[in-house]
Structure 1
Amino acid sequence: MEKNEYHVIGVMSGTSLDGIDLVQARFTYHGHWHFEILNAETVDYNEDWRNTLGHLLSYEPEVLKEIDEDYTKYLAGVINQFIKTYNIKNIDMVCSHGHTALHQPENNVTYQIGNLPALSKLLNKKVICDFRKQDVELGGQGAPLVPVGDKLLFSEYDYCVNLGGFANISMDVNDVRVAYDICPVNIVLNHYVKQLGLNFDDKGQIASTGVIHTDMLNALNDLDFYRAKYPKSLGLEWVKNHVLPLIDTYKLEVSDILRTFIEHMAIQIASEIKEKINALVLITGGGVYNTFLIEQLKRHSNQTIVIPSNEVIEFKEALIFGFLGVLKLRNEANCLQSVTGALKNHSSGTIFLP
C-alpha cells in the first residue's frame, strides 16, 4: 500500500548564489497534498565557493569534474550539519537539486554539480537528485521544475511567481499547467551591486535613488527572448551574452542601472499576469524583500499580490524539490510536458541508496 506521509529534507542552490536552502518538511496525502515546514535554514556560501560557483562556465571539463566531487562532499557536510542542528531523526529521503554548472537544453546539455552517488554514502540516507537531466534527454527544457509543486501544493493561486536569480511564473491555461522564465532578477541586480562592495541592494534602496534610462529600458524590453513563446527558460550564459553587455554599453551609474532594470522587470512580470481578471498572485523568492521592486510591480499591475510567510518566501523551491523526490519515489509525474516541452510527462530524478 502506498504511503501517505513522507518526511523529507529538500535542498536547493540557486543561480543567485545566495546560499544553500534546506527544508525539513512533512508531506501528507489524503485526496490532495498538504505540506508542513518543520525546520528551514539557508547556509551562506563563503567567498571561495561563491567565486568558484560564479565562474563554472569558464572551467575545463576535468576541472569541473573535480569541483563536482568537492561540492558533493561540501554539500553532504552542510546537510549532515542541518540534520544534527535540528536533531532530525525521521528522514525518508534527502532530495537535492545540486547547483547548475551548465544549462543548454538547445544542445541537449544540463549539468548540476553535487548530484554524485557519494552524496548518499556520505549522508547514509536515500538521496533523490539530478531532476533536470532526464527531461532534457526527452527534448524538454529541463526547467522550470517547480510548477508541479505549484499545481499540487499552492492550487488556490491563479499565478505563482518566484523572484530568485530569475523570475519565473507558473499557472493553469485551459486546465493545463504552463510555466516559464520571465526575466533575470537578482542575478543581474547583485552583479552590479557588487561594484559598490555589497552583496545585494537592501529593500531596493539604492535602486530607488536612480533614474530610469529610457534607451536602455527600451533595448532590454526589445530582447528577442521576450517575444518567444513558452516553454522557454533562461540561464547564466544568456545573461552574460545578452544582458550584461547591453547594460554595460550605456556606462551608467549603478543606481541608474538598478532603477532601470527594476522598471524592466516590473514591466515584464506585469505583462505575464494580466490575462486573468481579479487574479491572486503568489510572489515568493528572495526578490520579495526588494520592496522597491514590489512597489513597481504593483504600480504596473492591478492584480492582488500575495506575499506569504517568510518560510514560504525563502524556502518554497527547496520545499518543492523535496516534493519532487516524493513524486519520484511514488513513480508519479514530477516533470510536466506542458511546462518543459518534453515528449511526455515523466517521473524524473536519480535515486541513490547508501
Structure 2
Amino acid sequence: MKNPPFAATFPMTHNLKRILKNFLSSSTMKKRKHRVSYTAVGVMSGTSLDGLDMALARFTETARGWKYQLIDATTVPYSPEWVTRLAEAHHHLERSLIDLHVEFGEWIGEQVKKFMDKQVVPADMIGSHGHTIIHRPEIEITVQIGDGPSIARKTGITTIYNFRHRDVSLGGQGAPLVPMGDQELFREYDACLNIGGFSNISYRKNDKRIAYDIGPANILLNNYVREHFSVPFDMNGELGRKGRPVPEMLYRLNQQIFYRQPPPKSLGREWVERNILPVIKRTQATHEDILRTLYEHISDLIYFELLPFEKVLVTGGGAFNTFLLELIEEKGGRPLTLPDRLLVNYKEALVFGFLAVLRFLGRNNCLASVTGAKHDNMGGFIYRV
C-alpha cells in the first residue's frame, strides 16, 4: 500500500491539529465576485538556498489572455543559520520539524510584511511556495515547510500555500508548477528554461504544455563551493574556469537513468544525495577539476534539451553565471538571450503570485500534462484573514 500524502502522516501534536484544521477549513474556496485585476505577492524559496524571493505583481485578465505587471521584487538572503537549518531539515525528528515549519512561516511573514510596508500598492493575497525539504512523489510524499496561517497572521494578508499536495494525491509529480505561468504569461517563447537549484524546461507540444526537471544545477555548484572554497556561490563561474573536466566522473554523471526517462519527472535533494554525491566523493581530483566537471555535466544536460528550440526565455540565478552560459552556447552554437534582470531573478516568485490568483478564483493552476496527475487540478490551501 502506498504511503498517504505527507499531510496525513504528521503526528497529531497540538500544533499539527491547528495546522490541519486551517488546511481543511480553507481548502474549499467560497465563490467570490470576479474582478478583472488582482495584485499578489509571490514568495519562493529554492533548493539553491540563496535567499527568500518576493515579487509583487498585478495580474489582469483580458480578452487575449492574462497580462502581468511586475511592480517590485526583492531577495532576503538567508543567514548561515537558516541555510544550515533548511539544508538539514529533512533529517529532523517529526516534532522539531513541525516547530521549524511554524517558525519558518513566521519568519517568511515578517519578511513579507517588511517588503509590503514599503509598497504603495496593497496586495490582495500572498502565494507562498515554502521550502521543499522532501520530494518523493513516487511514494506520494512532498513536503514544503513555511506555515501559511503564520504568514497570514504576520502580514494580515490572505495567504495561499501548500501548492503541491493535491497534485501528488492525484498521482502527479507535484512539480514543476511554474509551467502554468509559462503557458499563460509567456506564450511568445518556444520554450522557458529556468536554471535554479535544478534546471527545468517548459514548452508546448501537440497543443499541450510539457515540462520537467532536466537535472541538478545550482544545488550542486553552490553546495560544492560553500564546502570547498568557503564562498556562497561561484561568481560568474570564475572558480569553475580554473579546472579541467575529469572524463570518468563526467561519464558517470551523464549516465544517470533519470536523464533518459520520459516526462513527467521531477527531482529533489534526496535524488542528488543518492545518485550524484557518491560520484563526486569517489572522484580523486582537485576541487577545481571536480567543480569544472560539474559545470560540464550541467551544461551537457541543458544543451541537449534546448536543441529543438529557437526562442528560449532563460531565467533563474544560474542565468547570471556567465561561464555556464558560455559552455551551453559553445555546445549549442547559438547565443542565449536573457530578459531584464528583474524577470531573470524573480520569474518563479512572480508565477507563484499568479498561481495564487488562479487558486483564489477557483481555477486549475496545475497541469496534468506536466505532472502526470489524473487531471488538471487546483492546488493550494487558502487562509483568509
* From 24, 34, 39, the counterpart of 2:67: 34
CA distance in 1, matches of 2:291, 2:364: 39
CA distance in 2, matches of 1:351, 1:88: 24
CA distance in 2, matches of 1:206, 1:110: 34
* Structure 2 counterparts to residues 105-120 of structure 1, below 5 A: 105-120=137-152
TM superposition shift of 1:138:
0.7
Q: What residue in structure 1 maps to residue 297 of structure 2? A: 264
Q: What residue in structure 2 maps to residue 69 of structure 1? A: 102
Equivalent position amino acid for 2:294 in 1:
F
Aligned in 2, Cα 1:107/1:157: closer, same or farther, shift over 3 Å? same
Equivalent position amino acid for 1:290 in 2:
N
CA distance in 1, matches of 2:91, 2:256: 25
Q: What residue in structure 2 maps to residue 236 of structure 1? A: 269
TM superposition shift of 1:87:
3.0
Q: What residue in structure 1 maps to residue 365 of structure 2? A: 334
TM superposition shift of 1:286:
0.3
Which 5+ residue runs of structure 1 have no aligned equivalent? none
Q: Confirm whether residue 224 of structure 1 aligns to residue 253 of structure 2.
A: no
Equivalent position amino acid for 2:136 in 1:
Q
Aligned in 2, Cα 1:89/1:15: closer, same or farther, shift over 3 Å? same
Contact 1:96 1:115 in 2 (8 A): no
* From 302, 307, 325, the counterpart of 2:338: 307
TM superposition shift of 1:303:
4.7
Equivalent position amino acid for 1:79 in 2:
V
Offset from partner CA, 1:89-124 (integer Å, 9 cap, x none): 421101111111211111111111113423212221
TM-score between the two structures when normalised by the length of structure 1: 0.97
Secondary structure in 2 matching 1:144: coil
* Structure 2 counterparts to residues 72-111 of structure 1, below 5 A: 72-84=105-117, 86-111=118-143
- 113-122 or 254-263, larger mean C-alpha shift: 113-122
Q: What residue in structure 2 maps to residue 129 of structure 1? A: 161
- 316-325 or 250-259, larger mean C-alpha shift: 250-259
Q: What residue in structure 2 maps to residue 142 of structure 1? A: 174
Secondary structure in 2 matching 1:152: helix
CA distance in 1, matches of 2:256, 2:365: 31
- 257-266 or 221-230, larger mean C-alpha shift: 257-266
Offset from partner CA, 1:149-189 (integer Å, 9 cap, x none): 01111111111000000000000111110100001011001
Secondary structure in 1 matching 2:267: coil
Contact 1:280 1:303 in 2 (8 A): no
CA distance in 1, matches of 2:77, 2:71: 20
Contact 2:105 2:148 in 1 (8 A): yes
CA distance in 1, matches of 2:68, 2:46: 22
Q: Confirm whether residue 193 of structure 1 aligns to residue 225 of structure 2.
A: yes
Contact 1:166 1:186 in 2 (8 A): yes
* From 192, 212, 227, the counterpart of 1:160: 192
Q: Confirm whether residue 275 of structure 1 aligns to residue 305 of structure 2.
A: no
**Consecutive aligned runs of 4 or more in structure 1 exceeding 3 Å deviation:** none
CA distance in 2, matches of 1:76, 1:251: 45
Q: What residue in structure 2 maps to residue 22 of structure 1? A: 54
CA distance in 2, matches of 1:87, 1:346: 33
Q: Confirm whether residue 247 of structure 1 aligns to residue 297 of structure 2.
A: no
TM superposition shift of 1:267:
1.1
TM-score between the two structures when normalised by the length of structure 2: 0.89
What percentage of residue pairs aligned between the two structures are identical? 42
Equivalent position amino acid for 1:232 in 2:
K
CA distance in 2, matches of 1:46, 1:352: 28
Secondary structure in 2 matching 1:68: helix
Secondary structure in 2 matching 1:97: strand
Q: What residue in structure 2 maps to residue 7 of structure 1? A: 39
CA distance in 1, matches of 2:285, 2:269: 22
Contact 2:55 2:349 in 1 (8 A): yes
CA RMSD of aligned residues (A): 1.1
Equivalent position amino acid for 1:348 in 2:
G
Contact 2:134 2:141 in 1 (8 A): yes
CA distance in 1, matches of 2:114, 2:216: 32
CA distance in 2, matches of 1:334, 1:58: 31
Q: What residue in structure 2 maps to residue 46 of structure 1? A: 79
Offset from partner CA, 1:133-154 (integer Å, 9 cap, x none): 1110111001000001011111
Contact 1:281 1:304 in 2 (8 A): no
Secondary structure in 2 matching 1:344: coil
* From 243, 247, 251, the counterpart of 1:210: 243
Aligned length: 351
Q: What residue in structure 2 maps to residue 169 of structure 1? A: 201
Contact 1:21 1:318 in 2 (8 A): yes
Contact 1:94 1:322 in 2 (8 A): yes
